[in-house]
Amino acid sequence: MDHVETSLLEALRADPGLQRRAAEALREHGDRAPLTLRKAGVAPELAAAALTLADLRAHATAKLGERAERLYFTRPGLEQATRWAVAERRAARFARAVDEVTDLCCGVGTDALAFAEAGLRVAAVDRSEATAAYARANAAATGLDVDVRVDDALTTPLGAAVFADPARRAGGTRNFNPAEYSPPLDDLLARLDDVRFAAVKLGPGIKHEWLPEGAEAEWVSVDRDVVEACLWLGEAAAAPRRASVCKAGEWHELTGSGRERAAVGDVARYLYEPDGAVIRAGLVAELAAGLEAHTASEHIAYLYGDALRETPFARAWKVEEVWPLHPKKLRALLAERGIGRLTIKQRGTGIDPAALRKQLKLKGANEATLVATRIGEAHAAILCSEA
C-alpha cells in the first residue's frame, strides 16, 4: 500500500499541469470532476489521487493559508497538521533556545517546515515510508531544507531538542486516551526524559492527571477555537500552566499554577465567558484576579464583575436580568420583551439548548443571549446583551 501511495505521489509531483486541471475540474464540475479527467485521458487511479489532493488543498487553506496550494497531503495527515500560526509561534520559541530540532512523528511535515522557516536545522522522523515521502515532497515544494528519515520515534537517535506529535487517530477515529497514542504518551515521555529542550503536541482534551510533574502544559486557542495542547519539557518548561490565545492574528498569554480557585460571590453587572484555553488550563482564578471578578458557583467557569474590563481571554456580556430557570416562566418573560432571536448558552445545568429553544416558542424582533447556569446551587437564567 505504501508503494502504491508513494508512486501516485511521485506521479502527481511530476505533473503540475494535472494538479491544476484537477483543481479546476473540482471547482467547475464538482461531482462530475472524475469524468472530466477521465475524458482527458487520465488513468482512473491517478485522477482520483489528483482530485483528492485538490480537495485536501482547498480544505487546508484554513489551517495553512496560501502555502497549502503547493503542499501535498493525506487526509489523516491534514487532520493532524498544526495550524500554521501555531506551528510558526512554536518554532519561534524553539529558535530562541536552540539551533536544531528533531521532529518525531512528523506526518506530512508542516511543523518541520515551520521549524526550517524559523532557521533551525531539522531532522524529521516518521515510521511510515509513504508519510515520509509526503514530508519530503513538502520540503521540496517550499524549498526548505528538511532531512526526512524513516525510523521509530522510540529508538531513533535524538539531539538536544525534540518536538513530537504522536498520532491520535486510528481507523478514522480520534483517540482520547493517551495510552492509545502512537507511540503511547508514557513511552514517549520516558524517551524524552533526558532531552534538554522538548515539546509534545497533544489533543486539547488531555486530562490533567496525564501531565507529568515539572512540565509546562499549554492550551492554545485560535479565534476562540481550542486547537491543541502542548507539553513543554526540560528547559522548555517555563510555567506550570499556560493559556495561549490568538485573537485577530495577535497572541496573548496567561500563566499560573492551575491550582488556584476564584472567589465566589453574587451575579454582578457584567458576565465574562473565559476562552476555552483558559478553562482547560485551569487559569480561571488567574483571569478573575486580573478582571477583579469572581464566580457565582465554585465549579462554573463564568465570571462576574462590576466593571467592564477589556481582555483577550474572555467575552463580556452585560447582565440585564436574572430569572429562575423555568421554561414556562422564561417563555412568558421573553415574549413580554419581544425576543425572537435568542442565543442560548449553558454551563452546569445539563439542559439541552435546542430542546429549551423549542419550549420557549420565541417570537418578536428583539435579540438577546440567555445564559443557563448555576448561582450557588440554584439553577438560573441570565438575560444578557453583548458588552
Number of domains in the chain: 3
**Domain match, 312 and 368 both:** yes
Residue-range definition of the domain harbouring residue 9: 2-70
Does one domain contain both 112 and 162? yes
Are 85 and 64 in a shared domain?
no
Contacts 24+ apart (CB under 8 A), 334-337: 334/360, 334/362, 334/364, 334/368, 334/370, 335/363, 335/364, 337/364, 337/366, 337/368
Does residue 253 form part of some domain? no
- Residue 203: how many other CB atoms lie within 10 Å: 18
Q: What is the mean pLDDT of residues 292-313?
A: 96
One domain for residues 292 and 376: yes
Arithmetic mean of pLDDT, 255-275: 97
pLDDT band at 314 (very low <50, low <70, confident <90, very high): very high
Contact 204, 219 (CB under 8 A): yes
pTM, whole model, 2 decimals? 0.93
CB atoms within 10 A of CB 243: 30
Q: Is 58 within a domain?
A: yes
Closest CA to 100 of 81, 86, 121, 75: 121
Q: Is the residue at 350 inside a domain? A: yes
Tell me the mean pLDDT in the region 343-354.
95
Evaluate whether 343 touches 370 at the Cβ level (below 8 Å): yes
Q: Is 247 inside a domain boundary?
A: no
Q: What confidence category does residue 1 fall into, taking pLDDT thresholds of 50, 70 and 90?
A: very low
- Asked whether residue 364 is domain-assigned, the answer is yes
DSSP 177-226: -GGGSBS-HHHHHHHTTT-SEEEEEE-TT--GGGSPTT-EEEEEEETTEE
Is pLDDT of 171 > 60? Answer: no
Closest CA to 216 of 270, 253, 175, 173: 253
The answer to whether position 264 is within a domain reads no
pLDDT confidence bin for 3, thresholds 50/70/90: low
Q: Examine the pLDDT at 203 and tell me if it is beyond 90.
A: yes
- Residues 383, 323: contact at Cβ < 8 Å? yes
Asked whether 106 and 165 are in contact (CB, 8 A), the reply is: yes
Statement to judge: residues 154 and 299 lie in one domain: no
Residues 114 and 225 in one domain: yes
My answer on whether 113 and 57 are in the same domain is no
